[in-house]
């Protein structure tokens, strides 16, 4: 079963940032759809929680230089 969540992400400033986040998260095993929006400062991720954890998703975003905020 796939879960969908919306994360507030700071640091994205352009379409290139959106593409980088989308591409980076899509490479994680268990991640399905990813939609990043720098205008809304959000990333919507559909993922299989049995294959990838929320912490792994957040860590990947952080490793790309962006920050997930509450």
pLDDT, tens digit (0-9, with 9 covering 90-100), for 6-49: 999 999 999 999 999 999 999 999 999 999 999 999 999 999 99
SS3 7: strand
The residues near 62 (Cβ < 8 Å, ≥ 6 apart) are 68
pTM: 0.93
- Going along the chain from its start, the domains and CATH numbers come out as 3-69 (3.30.70.100)
Lowest mean pLDDT among 15-19, 42-46, 57-61, 66-70: 66-70
Whole-number Å distance between alpha carbons of 66 and 51: 23
Partner residues linked to 67 by β-bridges: 10
- Cβ(42)–Cβ(6) under 8 Å? yes
Angle of the 15-26 helix axis to the 54-63 helix axis, nearest 10: 140
């Amino acid at each position: 079963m796939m879960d969908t969540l919306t994360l507030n992400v700071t640091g994205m400033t352009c379409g290139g940032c959106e593409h980088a986040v989308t591409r980076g998260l899509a490479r994680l095993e268990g991640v399905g759809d990813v939609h990043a929006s720098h205008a809304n400062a959000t990333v919507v991720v559909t993922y299989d929680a049995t294959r990838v954890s929320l912490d792994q998703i957040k860590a990947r975003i952080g490793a790309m230089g962006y920050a997930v905020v509450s």
